[in-house]
Amino acid sequence: MKSKRPAIPYLGWMLVFTIVPLVMVVYYAFTDSEGHFSVEPFINASVYSEVFLYSLLIALISTLICLVLAYPLAFSISRCSQRGQSLIIMLLMVPMWMNFILRIYAWVLILQNYGPLDMILNFFGIDVTLIGNSGAVIVGMVYEFLPFMILPLHTVMSKIDSSLIEAAQDLGCSGFYVFRKVILPLSVPGIISGITMVFVPTASTFLVAQYLGGTQFMIGDVIERIFQSDHNTGSAIAVVLMVVILGCLVFMNRFGDKEAVN
């Protein structure tokens, strides 16, 4: 029989750093500043529902763009030689070793008015504002979180045996049908974990919008700001965000299971 003893330190860790904080956040969300049970924080939080929906939309768009960019890339990486694969994956990881703020700040420099990109576009007579809008936020998000989409997709795809692709061709599949009937269904688990790994942080991230979004804040920024003065409302927003994300994930896993069976 397997001993459960080695799990004890981790269970302790989870209790102290996951369960207890979670309970505390939920406790704050349902109490007023005097510590009495109250739904007032949720009523206060409803002011930010527009920012909330905007954040989810930005997260959704960023996640979809990541998926569209990462999918073909992950597939072509997975068909490279073993050495080529490790090299490309490492190159994808290198930017992640740099500080998060620094990377976002780099985008500020690129996109700002009279910045390099703006100058080039001006040269061709295109006059647009590149920074301080949703587009800039999405660009920043996609840049930050693209590796988190590529890695799980690549892991799943590199496990697809090339003989399966050959078998599909052998049985009469042209290129498109090989993708539709074999590669896509077999990569569903990677798509799901990729979406999870990108959607969850993009929905709750902060700072990216502060630097790139001008006046357009995301819900993460709101939580950060409110929490400093009002624990209760901040916790309430955090709880709602958590429930919504959980709902999305449950829905997606259901969908994924069904796809895998088909």
Partner 1 sequence: MKQNSVVSLKDINFKYSNEVILNNINLDIYDKEFITLLGPSGCGKTTTLRIIAGFETPQSGEVYFEGEKVNDLPPYKRNVNTVFQKYALFPHLNVFDNVAFGLKLKKMSKKEIEQKVKQMLAIVDLKGYEKRSIANLSGGQQQRVAIARALVCDPKVVLLDEPLGALDLKLRKDMQIELKQLQQKTQKTFVYVTHDQEEALTMSDRVCVMNNGVIAQIGTPEDIYNEPANAFVADFIGEANIINGTMLDDCKVKLLGVELDCVDKGFDKNKPVDVVIRPEDIEVVAPDQAKLVGTVEDVIFKGVHFEISVKCNNCHWLIHSTVSQKIGDTIGMRIDPFNIHIMDKMFLNPTNDIITTVYNSDKENNTTTFLLEGTEVTIPDTYFEEGKKIKISLPPDALYIAGDGVGHLDELYIESVIWKGEHNEIILESDERKWIMQSDIDEQVATYVPICFDFGKAEISEVTDDEK
**Residues forming the site for partner 1 (CB under 8 A):** 161, 163-164, 166-174, 177, 181-182, 185-186, 260
Rounded distance between C-alpha atoms, residue 90 and residue 96, angstroms: 10
Which residue, 146 or 178, is less far from partner 1 as judged by CB? 178
Minimum CB separation of residue 55 from partner 1 in Å reads 35
Minimum CB separation of residue 64 from partner 1 in Å reads 24
Which residue, 76 or 166, is less far from partner 1 as judged by CB? 166
Question: For the chain, what is the total number of helices (H) and then of strands (E)?
Answer: 14, 0
Which residue, 164 or 246, is less far from partner 1 as judged by CB? 164
Rounded distance between C-alpha atoms, residue 260 and residue 188, angstroms: 7
Which residue, 251 or 257, is less far from partner 1 as judged by CB? 257
If we measure between CA atoms, which residue out of 227, 141, 155, 228 comes closest to residue 190?
Answer: 155
Q: Report the 10 Å Cβ neighbour count for 188.
A: 17
Minimum CB separation of residue 172 from partner 1 in Å reads 4
Cα first-last separation, the chain: 36
Minimum CB separation of residue 258 from partner 1 in Å reads 12
Which residue, 32 or 259, is less far from partner 1 as judged by CB? 259
Minimum CB separation of residue 81 from partner 1 in Å reads 11
If we measure between CA atoms, which residue out of 223, 31, 215 comes closest to residue 136?
Answer: 215
Angstrom CA distances, 35 to 23, 32, 41, stand at 14, 5, 12
Q: How many CA atoms lie within 13 A of 92 on its CB side?
A: 20
Minimum CB separation of residue 256 from partner 1 in Å reads 12
Which residue, 155 or 210, is less far from partner 1 as judged by CB? 155
